[in-house]
Structures are given as structure tokens and as C-alpha cells.
Homo-oligomer: A and B are copies of this chain.
Amino acid sequence: MNKETLIQVHERIQPYIHRTPVLTSELIDDICGTKVFFKCENFQKMGAFKMRGAANAILSLTQEQRNRGVVTHSSGNFAQALSLAAKKIGVKAFIVMPENAPQVKKNAVKTYDGEIIECDSNPIAREEMAEKVRIETGATFIHPSNDDNVIYGQGTAAIELLEDYPQLDYIFTPVGGGGLIAGTILAAKFFSEKCKVIGGEPKNVDDAYRSLQSGKIEFNESTNTIADGLRTFLGDRNFPIIKEGVEKIIRVEEEEIINAMKLIWERMKIIIEPSSAVAFAALLKDKEDYKNKNVGIIISGGNVDVTNLPF
């Protein structure tokens, strides 16, 4: 892994992604006591940064592999991302989803021509079903976050942010499966002399925080957080990167997530999902530690049911 690889990844996925805007707000800066730069991946295709990693993973396949398609298990943004990236690249996508997944999420995948295969609603069932599909169809399995090419793809958001604002002292990202923060750590390492990466994580699913303490991958007892994109856990590909490169992980309460989300909606006039608010909530919580700095925040996505809000 080196800088040149990341540059190639970024070039390769260009036709399939937006270069998303970076927004700022004097009022948010005043509240935080620091300069904040929001990288708006909620404006990314299909509404989340996951499009970057999905596109890169498919583009990394040989033509023969592409002919047999790709398979993943996800009921969230990666399901949509892999479906859309596959559609644009001309590849078949099989998406393993729990049978009780919300219909709106199933519909989103269908919009992008992903083929849904239902399974029981537990981690073992979905992994078994994905393996079954892989064997039967010959499709290549692509993990939503624990895959080198996915990690490199997710890192391209931070590359763009650092190209636009090389003066950044910190980049905050939410931590769920670990793909975004691992990619961001690689980008900061190769595209900045000084930029450190900080993770925001809901206290109720603080597996990454605990994994850093224990030195091995920990799991969550509960998935009780509004930040539904962050209920997953780390893997053997991204954990070593995170362990080596992350500055720290800040844990936030559910109420802090909701307040941060509402503040962004009201003041920035952009729609972000609860998982995205976690990184900003982390900055708000420890803002005294980041006075008069330049802080980038990756707004990871904007896919939220606007008819069912937490405020």
C-alpha cells in the first residue's frame, strides 16, 4: 500500500462518483471554536460514501469475475452502493438481506437492479446465505467494510478533502464496520504531513473503542443505537490499520447524536443520517481539545426516512 495506489484508485472510480462539495458555516465554527469543513458525502451518488468503495471493489475484478457478478450482505447503504456501482459498471449484484428488512430499503436496492436474496435476521444466517450464493453463482463476495479495495475506495473522500483543504489538522469520521475510518487513515498518512484521524462512535455500540483498548476485535452486546449504520464491527483487514493509525475514538450518547444531527439540519440546511451526526457529535463533545484548529468532518450519508425523525 502506497500513495500511488490510492491515486490510481481515485482516478479509476472518478466516472462513477461525484466529487462532493465541502461546506462550512460561520455559526458552526463559532459553536465549536474551531474551523470546521464538512465533506458532504450525503450528496454522493445513492446518498453515501459507500459508493466509492463499492465502485473500486468491482473495478478491481477481472473481466471473468465481473461476468459472474458480485454478492454482499447488507441491509444498509452498502446494499444500495454495490447495486448501483454494479449497474453502472455492467455487473450483476446479489444482495443478501434479512427478510424483515424495511421495505423502503429493499425498494432502494431494486431501483438499482440489485437482486435481493432474503435470509433470517442474524449475522450467521446472512453470512451462510452469502456463501451459498457465492458458490451457486460464482459471484465474488465483497464485504461492506473489511475488504482492501473497499477500504481504499472509502479513503478517496479524505483525499479530496485534503486536496481542497491541505491545512486540516484533524479529520473526524464515524466508526461502524471500520472501512471509512481505515481508508481515511491511509489517505491522511499519504496526503498530509500532519492530519490526524479521530473516530466518533455511539457509546451503545463502542466495539471499536473497546477493541483499541484490548488490542483485539471486540463485539457489541446490543445494537441499540439510532446510528443504524454503525452497529457492525471491525474486521481483520481494517482493524490493523485503525489500531496503528487512529488518534483516538470519542464515544457519544444517543442524545448527543440526535442534538448534533438537528444542529446540522437547522444550521447547515443539509439532510444527514444519524450515523453521520456521530462524527460531529464527537467534535462537539470534546470541542475544548480542538480550539482554533482546522477540522474536517466526513458527513457519511443522508439516507434517512424524512417522515420518521428523532426530533
Q: Which residues of A contact B (CB under 8 A)?
A: 21, 23, 42-43, 47, 262, 265-266, 268-272, 302, 306-307, 309, 311
Contact = CB atoms under 8 A, between A and B. Distances in A.
Contacts of A47: 269
Contacts of A309: 306-307, 309
A61 to B, nearest CB: 25
A265 B307 CA distance: 11
Contact of A271 (B21, B43, B270): B270
Given A43-B269, A47-B269, 15 more contacts: A21-B21, A21-B23, A23-B43, A42-B269, A43-B268, A265-B271, A265-B306, A266-B306, A269-B270, A269-B271, A269-B272, A270-B270, A270-B271, A306-B311, A307-B311
Nearest to A262: B306
A290 to B, nearest CB: 24
Contacts of A266: 306
A242 B309 CA distance: 40
Contacts of A262: 306
A122 to B, nearest CB: 30
Copies in the complex: 2
Contacts of A306: 262, 265-266, 309, 311
B302 A269 contact: yes
12 contacts: A43-B268, A47-B269, A262-B306, A265-B271, A266-B306, A269-B270, A269-B272, A269-B302, A270-B270, A271-B271, A306-B309, A307-B311
A92 to B, nearest CB: 22
A275 to B, nearest CB: 14
Nearest to A272: B269
A113 B275 CA distance: 35
Nearest to A261: B306
Contacts of A272: 269
Which 10 residue pairs of A and B lie closest in terms of their CB atoms, listed nearest first? A269-B302, A269-B271, A42-B269, A265-B306, A307-B311, A270-B270, A21-B21, A43-B269, A265-B271, A266-B306
A187 to B, nearest CB: 23
A244 to B, nearest CB: 34
Contacts of A265: 271, 306
Contacts of A271: 265, 269-271
Contacts of A268: 43
A37 to B, nearest CB: 14
